[in-house]
Each structure stands twice: as C-alpha cells, then as structure tokens.
Amino acid sequence: MDLKQLYQDIILEHGKSPRNFGICNEYTHEAKGHNPLCGDQVEVYLKLNKESKVENLTFKGSGCAISIASTSIMTELVKGKSIEKAKKLVVDFLNMIKNGTIIKSDELDEDQKTKMMSLSGVKQYPMRVKCATLAWHTLTSAMEGNKEKVNTEVLD
Amino acid sequence: MDLKQLYQDIILEHGKSPRNFGICNEYTHEAKGHNPLCGDQVEVYLKLNKESKVENLTFKGSGCAISIASTSIMTELVKGKSIEKAKKLVVDFLNMIKNGTIIKSDELDEDQKTKMMSLSGVKQYPMRVKCATLAWHTLTSAMEGNKEKVNTEVLD
Amino acid sequence: MDINSIRSQFPILSKKINGKQLVYLDSSNSSQKPLNVLNSLDYFYKNEFSNIGRSIHSLAVNATNKFEETRISVKNFINANSKEEIIFTKNATESINLIATTFGQMSIKKGDEILITELEHHSNYVPWHYLRETRGAIIKFAPINDDGDIIIEKFKELITSKTKIIAVTHLSNVTGTIVPIKEIVEIARKKNIPVLVDGCQSAPHIKIDVKDLDCDFYAISCHKVYGPTGVGILYAKKKWLEKLPPYNGGGGMISEVNKNQITYAPLPEKYEAGTMPTAEVVAFNESIKFMQSIGIDNIIKHENELTNYTLEKLKKINSVNIVGNPRNKAGVISFTIKGIHPHDISTIVDEEGVAIRAGHHCCQILHKRLNLNATARASIGVYNTKEDIDVLCDAIKNCRKIFELK
Amino acid sequence: MDINSIRSQFPILSKKINGKQLVYLDSSNSSQKPLNVLNSLDYFYKNEFSNIGRSIHSLAVNATNKFEETRISVKNFINANSKEEIIFTKNATESINLIATTFGQMSIKKGDEILITELEHHSNYVPWHYLRETRGAIIKFAPINDDGDIIIEKFKELITSKTKIIAVTHLSNVTGTIVPIKEIVEIARKKNIPVLVDGCQSAPHIKIDVKDLDCDFYAISCHKVYGPTGVGILYAKKKWLEKLPPYNGGGGMISEVNKNQITYAPLPEKYEAGTMPTAEVVAFNESIKFMQSIGIDNIIKHENELTNYTLEKLKKINSVNIVGNPRNKAGVISFTIKGIHPHDISTIVDEEGVAIRAGHHCCQILHKRLNLNATARASIGVYNTKEDIDVLCDAIKNCRKIFELK
Ligand SMILES: Cc1ncc(COP(=O)(O)O)c(C=O)c1O
Ligand SMILES: Cc1ncc(COP(=O)(O)O)c(C=O)c1O
C-alpha cells in the first residue's frame, strides 16, 4: 500500500481545514459519536427543513486526519440532500469503505464523487476504518433520532 | 523404586489392622488433622499422666494404607514415652521421611526401629509424604495444645 | 476414525513414566494438547505476537483478528447466537464466579434461593456459597439417587417462588452422569428462572448446542477441551450480559473514564478486563479444529465404546465397585476397591505408567452423599484405546496382589 | 551485555512488517518472548503436561513441582518473605481487582477514602471505582505537575483519617515517571494505611524489592516481563492474605466443603481457584532466568542509554513534543506532533515496520490532565537498539513530509 493513497492531498487539506465546523443555528437533530480506542469524539448537528431536506449539517470534535476529513467531506456532500438521499449516501459510503464498491450515485457530480472516493484508501487499513466511518454512523443516529452515543466498538 | 519397598508387609498389616484405634478414656489432649488433597482425616487422643508421660495414645480416622499404618505405628512407638522423648521421636521420624536420615534413637529397640524404618520408603513418593506425616504433625499439635486443625497443605 | 493418527498428534503419549509407556487416563482433570495447538502457540509467539485491541500497528491488527476468529469459532462450536455472547475468561471457575458475582449483585436478596445439585464440582458451589455469606441467600441441593442421577421430581419440588437461579453441571466429573439439561431448562423456563450450566466436562465429550439447550449461561475450561491452560469461556445470553454489572474492572472494558464517572465498553469487551490470554485464545481455535477434524459424532462413538469396554472389564475384577450407574454415562469412571484406598491405587498403577486421579475430585458433597471419602477415577480422552484400559486393569490386579486381596 | 545475542533470542524481531524489518517499540503494551520461554512452553506440553496439585500420579507431581519452582523464583525475584505471599492470577488487572474486592469487603464503608493518583492506568482506577459505586467510598486523585511527577506535598495533604488504602503505580505507562514508592509508603506507614503498588511497568525495567519498598500489595503482569500471556502475579504481605476474605471460589481453594459451611485452603491456594495457567506459570520461570542471565543492572543501564538517546533525537525533530519530563524516567516515551494526530503517526511509521502505540494508553484521566486526547508512545525493551530509534525518527520525519509540515 502506498501511504499517499491513504493520505491524499484532499484528505490532508480537509483534515487541516475542516468545512462546516461548529454548531449550526436552529439544528433539529444531533448525535454524538465516540471511538473508545483512540478517544476520538464527534458531534453532528443537523438542520432538516419542512421538506425533510438537509438545510444545514455541521460538526464538532477532535480526531485524526482521516476522521476529521471524512466528517468534513460528509457534511459537504450531504448538505442540501433530502433525508432519503442522505441515507443512501451513507450506505454508499459504508459499502465503499467495507467492500470497495465504487461510488456511482446519481446524486453526486464527478467532483463530489472524487471527494468521496478519496477516502476509499482506508479500506486497506482495517484499524482506520472506524476513524472514517464514525461520522457517518453518527449522522445516521442523528437522522433516526437515537439518544445513545454511537460507539465504534459495536459497529462492524 | 520397588513398590514392595513402599508397601512392606508391616505397613499393609498395620493398614489393615491398626493398633490403638478409637478414643481412649480420660484423654488429656486431642487434635485433628486433615489432608485436603484426599480428604483424609485423623483425630489423635493423648493421655498424659502427672509425670508428663504418654499413658495412652489412640486415634480415629480414615485414610490410605500409608497414613493408617503410619498413625498406628506412631501410637505404638510413642506410648509410654515421656513427652520430651515423644517430641524427639516426631523429629526423628520427620527427618527420616524428608531427609532420609537413619533412625538411631536410643529410645527404640531394634524391633521398634525396624517398624519406624518401614515407612522410610515414602521418601521416594513425594505426593505420599503428607499421608505419612499427617498423624505425627497432629500429635505435635495435640502435645502443644493447639486448637486449630492441622492441615497438610501448610506443612512442608 | 484413525486412532493411530490421532495419537501421533500427542507427543506426550509416547513418553515413558517410571520406565513404562504413559497411559493417560486423567483427561477429566485436564486433557493433553495436540500438535496443531502447540504449533499455533509457538508460531504465534515467534511470528505474530502483539497485544490485541489496543495498538493499531500491523502486528496488533493481525493478532486482534486472530483472537476474534477464535471467538467466532467458539460461537459456532456451541451454536451461540452472536459472538458478543462469548466471553473469554481464565477458566470455567472464573466464568461461574463472574455470573454468581454479577447476578448476585443485581438480583440476590436475603432469603432468595439458589438451586444446585449434589453432583456439583466445588467451582459450581463455592461461588454461590459466597452469596449465602454476603447476601443471605439460601442454597438448596437437588438430590441424586444412588445411580448418580438427579431425581427430577425432587428437583421440581425444590423450586419455589424464591428460586432466583439454577446452577447445574452438564456432565458429572465423578459419576459421568449426563444431566438432562433441556428438561431442566424447560422446568426453569416455566418459572422464569435462569439456568447456568457447568459445561466443563461436557464440552470435550458431547455435542453442545446452547440454542437448543436454551440455557442462560454456559461455562467451559479450554484446557479440558484439548486447549492450552489459562483460558476459559463464558457463554451468556446477550440480554444478560447487557443487563448485568461489569465484573473485573480495568483496561479494555471501559468506554469513557472521568474522575467521577465511568462508562463501560460494549460486549464482549465489557467483561474482558486487562490483557487477555492472547496466545492461548488464538491457539484454542486449533483445538476446535482438532475436534472438528475428527468429528464430534466420531468422538462420541469412540469414547462410548471405550467407556463400555472399561466398565465391563472393571466389573469383572473382584472387589472393584463402580461409583454410580447413571442412565446416560460418559467416559468418566470412578471406582473403589474394597480394602485399598484410592491413593494407594493411584500410586500402584502409576508405577505401571497409568495416570488416574484419586481423591474427592473437588466434589466433597457428592462423596459425602455416596458415603465415600475418596474414589479412584479413570477418565477418557479421544486418544485413549482399549490397550490403555487393559494396562489399567492389569495394574489394578497388581494392586490386589500387593494388598493380598483374594 | 551482548545485544546481538539477546536479539537472536527473539525470533519475531527478524520478521518483516510491510516489507520492512520489524522495529518493535510497543513493549509497555506487551513484551516479546525469548526462545527459552517458548521452548519451555512447548517442552512442558509435549513432555510433562498434567494438571497440578490434584492428582498424585508422577506427571502431576512433576508438574506441581515445576509450578511451585516458579513461585519460589518469583519470591526471590521481588524479594518477598515467603512463597505464600505469591499468588498467581491471570493478569495485573485481576491482581488489583482481587485486592480491591476483598479489601473493600473487609474494610471499606460509606465515606471511606481511597487515594490514587492522576497517573493511574484504568486497571488501577476502575476496581476502586466499583467500591465507590457499591460501598459509597470516595476516590481522591493525587495531582501531578506538568512534568508528570506526583506532587508529594499535595499527596500528603490528601491523606485524612478516612483514607483506607493508597493505590499507586510504580512506573507510569505514559510519561515513564518512576514514582518514589518508598517515600509514599513511609508517609502511609505513619498513618497506618496500606499501599498497593501497580508494578506492571516497573517489573521488567527496574529492580523490585518488596521488602525494601515495604508496600502491602504489588501487582505484576507476566506478559510484560518477557513471559507468556495469561499469567499475572499478586504479591501481598502474609498478614493481609490471612485476614482478607477469599476471592474467586472453586476447586483448589477449599479445605472442607459441607452443605452449610465451607473452610478455605491455606495460602497461597486460598487465592488460586480453578485450574491455573499451569504451562504459562512454568514457562515464566524462564522469563526470570532470561532477565537474570542479562542482569537487571545491565538491563537498566542499556535501557537508560537508549531512553536518553531517544529523547535527544526526538527533541531535535521540529514540532515533536515529549509528554512529561519526570525526575526519574524509564523507557516509556510518549509524544505528540503538532498538526498530526497520533493515529496518523502510528499508521505512517507502521508502514516502515515500526510498531508504536497511539491513543490514551488506558490513562484517560492523565490525558485529560495534560489536555491531550491521545499521544503516540514508543516504549523500550531490552532488545531495542539505537538503530531502532533511528528508524523511528526517520519514520517520524516521513510523517512530517506527508503532512507537509515545515
Ligand atoms: C501501569 C499499568 N497498570 C496496569 C496494566 C494492566 O495490565 P494487564 O492488562 O496485563 O492486566 C498495564 C498494562 O496494560 C499498565 O501499563
Ligand atoms: C464439572 C467441573 N466443573 C468445574 C471445573 C473447574 O474447572 P477449572 O478448574 O478449569 O476452572 C471442573 C474441573 O476441574 C469440573 O470437572
């Protein structure tokens, strides 16, 4: 494996300057996630509008480059999508990380697909998969209105 | 090792027909012993007279041939001795079993020495040493007026 | 089943004891270990060792995966629902203590009853005794008959509205009784009482299906199942593991730790505090493979044949008395010889290279029930043969000769 | 000290990881095992295996003797008074739980105080936390300064008439701080408070003399002391072991068992319930011999040199920050790099074959105290060399390159 595959420029860039960082105004949903192995924490704030569209999506938290970049990219890709499409994106993302499935979503333009695919290198690093998926699981938890903190140890 | 060395006729005979079995009248001292490994139990009853002489010595209990024979032989050898000499016999016996020391006691005639020496084969069978020594330790405990049950696991 | 090929996997079986070929008939105490298990231990330490679950370097990732593979094998071996239901402990004794302690903390109050049986090993009595001492619980002993079978009618009668848990062995380590666990669980289910099964002796010798048994807890010692020492297994239904408080506290079983509060890791980690017997767990996967390569049905068939052969031969020897005569019996054969103490038997047969156990086998209650101080016990493993039994019987005849029994 | 000959005793050190020579710098997590230990395991299983203490056949007698020989070696290794003071457990975590539980049962009432420090591993906090939950104890944390040293004056102030026990690490697994245990025990002695020492990290790296330290309890994990997984040690003064209630209940730890009453075995068996990690204990004797063959003074000298070398080299790398600067420091070197998360560091150096740990190292309290989420940690064993450190430093430089740090 080439480390440059894992640490692509886009990931390093998002890791250093995450987008949508902070707590957005008037969020309607929130959830917390935790990776006990490293102590990483993420909080996701989601504002759904009347039409069940993701009007805003922000996050707070600390973590490694992979985890921050994955969260940052997630907020960019999901913002503006309907809740159904957001859920589909989560599934696509997890499939890519776990099974190496290529992203073919109609919802994303080429640029966005490239962004999402930039995280596909994580598949080769089993211990880092949880870093990449924590935010996405936490988003699911927020959308489903779950109260319990997401814990990467119970996810596969 | 020859098993016949361990199971000499004299031992088998005492094992089958132990002497001084039962609770003697007007005993002045008693003590209990226990070998947790096998569940063997022995109770020793000692009658000391005014001159501190062992007037009577009997026992009750269950156990293997080695343990019953050793107890039976002990009662025979110790009976009639002064308490000092009884204590010396215990030391001699334990020395023989643990260090292979030959019995040279002036207190014993040749016949008695042979009896005691009949147990010397036990030295070759480490797991059986406790079977042979339990009664003797229990006698010590009785002479010293100890209340706690003798437990072979704390003896070496 | 190719017994020679099986035996060749156990190097120790070709050793000499007191100048005689070793005849190992003490497998209920602990089984010997086949080469694939020993090779796994050695290979793991020499090539792959690392602590698991904590570091994220390649060695650690690989070791963690190997460790978790065993968990899945165990899950399949006993047909559990999920791998979260498999907890690695140090031995079955700890498995039972874990449940007695945590269940006791959660559910046992003064006057509550715990139902066990007269067959139980100390490891399935002492932990419950603690609840008597610390919480005022009452322990009831379901009686057995002279054959060594639990008297089911009496068992039922002992269940009251205060019975909080039932703990019973699957297979007696003295009489070889195979206990009808399904029947017992069905009785317990009607009253909503959880059942803990001590599976120490059953795991290597009969088919275990916890889903079919429907028991709540199942305890296993890997060293009796052709595995290394230092590992045990606790199976527990997920609903219990989620509800019960944690047991040992320490690294690996926590989630968030603050100065005033602690939250615990999800299953199964919640119950695995501190560094696990990593290499031993990894190697135990090979023990399961060893058994599966022979096939549990073949093992049962072989051991049954051998048990019957042993019983027949022993019964033919004068003054030998077999302890118990249960309806279903596995290869655990305890006996006494009138006029010879079991310790003397053990010493004398040892001189012929035969390893059997003598004593109360950690079952003092059972021995008292049967009016015995001690018994001699020959116990069978998959590697034993009729020749082994022949040597045992000849050695027993020698006991009788030495003791001049007629 | 012949480092090449030492390294040649660890087959795993010649393995390749990601195509690169393994550089193992995770010994604080678990050490690698030398050949004599692995050979002992293998030999024991292949030639001598039997359960111990229970059967009286030749195999069992020999195995029991071997097992007890290790107990005597451990006694000498830590300079205990007698072998009854050495209890074998599954790991240091269990050793500490054993004391917390039994001492808690005997002596902790609502409002009683337990004094620990901000340096403690979760294994030396969670067991005491249980006493807070179940018995209403109060836990106080002795503070450290930014260097990672316990502030002795503050420590003294935290002792009150309600302090029932003090539990403190001998060597921090994050900062490498060597804690002045003698000083702490002297303070505690004046107030008659027992002291438990978590010796997990100290045992492989500094000289342990429990008589000189005069502590009441000392916990060790053998897998960190060049020994197999699955074994730990609890040292406790005899007077405590005699007084405290038993812990796990089961086979081997009882004396007489009746339906209404149980008496317990004498020491050390009272605390060794169920089948022990027999082979692992036997093999641990070889770990002690391994250390003694090098000489603990030589080990200390070598590891000190290497620690200083590491610190100097790391400090020269831009944006590397060493965590803690204690007065006495052993070869546990935690660090952070501004701009790179420890997990990313670990992944990147792993690509060069370097095994270090990243995370909170089971010390969340300490990380919070130091305002850190996670750290990277390189920890040294007797087999490490300056070349290992050079590879680490080059790999760290590679982290900086990948992350384009200036
Ligand atoms: C300081 C310290 N205490 C306790 C422990 C726990 O040791 P174990 O996991 O072997 O029980 C460790 C190791 O993880 C440690 O470093
Ligand atoms: C029926 C039964 N239960 C429990 C145990 C205890 O197993 P361990 O000593 O491995 O914890 C044994 C074995 O000694 C046993 O035979």
Residues of A in contact with D340 (CB under 8 A): 65
Q: Look at residue D182 in the predicted model and tell me its pLDDT.
A: 98
Q: With a cut of 70, say whether residue A156 has pLDDT above it.
A: no
Residue at B123 is within a domain: yes
Beta strands in chain A (DSSP E): 29-35, 40-48, 54-62, 150-151
Question: D167: part of which helix (H) or strand (E)?
Answer: strand D163-169
Q: Look at residue D376 in the predicted model and tell me its pLDDT.
A: 97
Q: How confident is the model at residue B155 (pLDDT cuts 50, 70, 90)?
A: low
Q: Average pLDDT for residues B9-24, to the nearest whole number?
A: 95
Is D404 in Cβ contact with A3 (below 8 Å)?
no
Is A37 in Cβ contact with C256 (below 8 Å)?
no
Residues D245, D108 contacting (CB under 8 angstroms): no
Q: Average pLDDT for residues B69-91, to the nearest whole number?
A: 96
Domain of A132, in residue numbers:
3-146
Is C54 in Cβ contact with A37 (below 8 Å)?
yes
Strand partners, A84: none
Q: How confident is the model at residue D21 (pLDDT cuts 50, 70, 90)?
A: very high
Is D56 in Cβ contact with B36 (below 8 Å)?
no
As for ligand 1, residues whose beta carbon falls within 6 Å of it are C 250-251, 274-275; D 28, 91-93, 121, 123-124, 169, 173, 198, 200-201, 221, 362
Report how far residue A9's alpha carbon sits from residue A7's, in angstroms, rounded to the nearest whole number: 6
Residues C226, C32 contacting (CB under 8 angstroms): yes
Residues D218, D188 contacting (CB under 8 angstroms): no
Residue that has been written with the tokens 């209940």 in this structure: D249
Beta strands in C318-396 (DSSP E): 320-322, 332-337, 354-355, 357-359, 375-379
To the nearest whole angstrom, how far is the Cα of C53 from the nearest Cα of chain A? 8
Q: With a cut of 90, say whether residue A38 has pLDDT above it.
A: no
- CATH number of A125's domain: 3.90.1010.10
Name the nearest CA neighbour of A30 among A136, A152, A154, A139: A139
Tell me the CA–centroid distance for residue C212 and ligand 1, in Å: 39
Residue at A155 is within a domain: no
Domain with CATH 3.40.640.10 in chain C: 38-292
Q: Which of C362, C364, C366, C379 to mutate to test the pocket of ligand 2 (most atoms within 8 A of CB)?
A: C362
Q: Look at residue D110 in the predicted model and tell me its pLDDT.
A: 98
Beta strands in B5-51 (DSSP E): 29-35, 40-48
Q: Model confidence over C193-240: pLDDT tens digits?
A: 999 999 999 999 999 999 999 999 999 999 999 999 999 999 999 999
Largest CA distance in chain A: 46
Q: How confident is the model at residue B1 (pLDDT cuts 50, 70, 90)?
A: low
Residues B95, B73 contacting (CB under 8 angstroms): no
Q: Average pLDDT for residues D165-181, to the nearest whole number?
A: 98
* Strand D163-169 versus strand D195-198 pairing type: parallel
Report how far residue C360's alpha carbon sits from residue C372's, in angstroms, rounded to the nearest whole number: 9
Q: Look at residue A4 in the predicted model and tell me its pLDDT.
A: 83
Nearest-CB residue to A126 (from C54, C61, C265): C61
CATH class label, C3-26+295-402: alpha beta
To the nearest whole angstrom, how far is the Cα of A131 from the nearest Cα of chain C? 12
As for ligand 2, residues whose beta carbon falls within 6 Å of it are C 28, 91-93, 121, 123-124, 169, 173, 198, 200-201, 221, 362; D 250-251, 274-275
Q: Is C9 on the interface with D (CB under 8 A)?
A: no
Q: Look at residue D223 in the predicted model and tell me its pLDDT.
A: 98
Angle at D100 between CA D94 and CA D106, to 5 degrees: 135
Residue in D closest to A66 by C-alpha? D344
Is D26 in Cβ contact with C51 (below 8 Å)?
yes
Q: With a cut of 90, say whether residue B97 has pLDDT above it.
A: yes
Percent of chain B residues topping a pLDDT of 70:
94
Residue that has been written with the tokens 């319990």 in this structure: A148
C249 secondary structure, DSSP code: -
Q: How confident is the model at residue D242 (pLDDT cuts 50, 70, 90)?
A: very high
Ligand closest to CA D27: 1
Domain with CATH 3.90.1150.10 in chain C: 3-26+295-402
Q: With a cut of 90, say whether residue B147 has pLDDT above it.
A: no
Q: With a cut of 70, say whether residue B79 has pLDDT above it.
A: yes
To the nearest whole angstrom, how far is the Cα of C35 from the nearest Cα of chain B? 30
Half-sphere exposure of C216 (CA within 13 A, CB side): 25
Residue C104 Cα distances to C120, C129, C131, C158, C188, angstroms: 19, 11, 6, 20, 18
Report how far residue C46's alpha carbon sits from residue D22's, in angstroms, rounded to the nearest whole number: 13
Q: With a cut of 60, say whether residue C167 has pLDDT above it.
A: yes
Q: Model confidence over C341-356: pLDDT tens digits?
A: 999 999 999 999 999 9
Q: With a cut of 70, say whether residue A155 has pLDDT above it.
A: no
D200 annotated active-site: no
Percent of chain C residues topping a pLDDT of 70:
100
* Domain count across chain A: 1
Size of interface C-D (CB pairs under 8 A): 321
Name the nearest CA neighbour of C342 among C363, C326, C370, C361: C361
- The per-residue pLDDT of chain A, averaged, comes to 90
Give the CA radius of gyration of chain C: 22
Q: Look at residue D369 in the predicted model and tell me its pLDDT.
A: 97
Report how far residue D52's alpha carbon sits from residue D55's, in angstroms, rounded to the nearest whole number: 7
Is D344 in Cβ contact with A16 (below 8 Å)?
no
Stretch among B23-37, C235-249, C387-401, D105-119 having the lowest mean pLDDT: B23-37
Which residues of D sit within 8 Å Cβ distance of A?
18, 339-344, 347-348, 351, 358-360, 364, 367, 373-374, 402-404
Q: Look at residue D406 in the predicted model and tell me its pLDDT.
A: 75
Q: Model confidence over C362-379: pLDDT tens digits?
A: 999 999 999 998 999 999
Name the nearest CA neighbour of A51 among A18, A9, A84, A15: A84
Q: Look at residue D186 in the predicted model and tell me its pLDDT.
A: 98
Which residues of B sit within 8 Å Cβ distance of C?
1, 3-4, 6-7, 12, 16, 37-41, 62-66, 125, 127-128, 131
Nearest-CB residue to D359 (from A4, A39, A41): A39
Q: Look at residue A154 in the predicted model and tell me its pLDDT.
A: 59
Residue at A152 is within a domain: no
Q: Model confidence over D267-309: pLDDT tens digits?
A: 999 999 999 999 999 999 999 999 999 999 999 999 999 999 9
Report how far residue D405's alpha carbon sits from residue D350's, in angstroms, rounded to the nearest whole number: 19
- The per-residue pLDDT of chain D, averaged, comes to 97
C-beta atoms surrounding D251 within 10 Å: 26
Residues C93, C232 contacting (CB under 8 angstroms): yes
Q: Which fold has domain D38-292?
A: Aspartate Aminotransferase; domain 2 (3.40.640)
Q: Average pLDDT for residues B112-138, to the nearest whole number?
A: 92
Q: Average pLDDT for residues C152-174, to the nearest whole number?
A: 98
Q: Residues C200, C215, C222, C362: which is the catalytic one?
A: C362
C-beta atoms surrounding B51 within 10 Å: 8
In which region does residue C19 sit, left (phi positive, over 0), alpha (psi from -120 to 50) or beta (all else)? left
Residue at A32 is within a domain: yes
Size of interface A-C (CB pairs under 8 A): 24
- The per-residue pLDDT of chain B, averaged, comes to 90
Atom of ligand 2 nearest to the CA of C169: 1
Name the nearest CA neighbour of A40 among D343, C212, C112, C103: D343
Residues C282, C44 contacting (CB under 8 angstroms): yes
Residues D130, D100 contacting (CB under 8 angstroms): yes
Q: Look at residue D20 in the predicted model and tell me its pLDDT.
A: 96
Q: Average pLDDT for residues A18-22, to the nearest whole number?
A: 97
In which region does residue D123 sit, left (phi positive, over 0), alpha (psi from -120 to 50) or beta (all else)? alpha
Per the model's pLDDT, the better-predicted residue between C135 and A100 turns out to be C135
Atom of ligand 2 nearest to the CA of D250: 6
Q: How confident is the model at residue B154 (pLDDT cuts 50, 70, 90)?
A: low
Residues of C in contact with D258 (CB under 8 A): 364-365, 368
Report how far residue B140's alpha carbon sits from residue B78's, in angstroms, rounded to the nearest whole number: 12
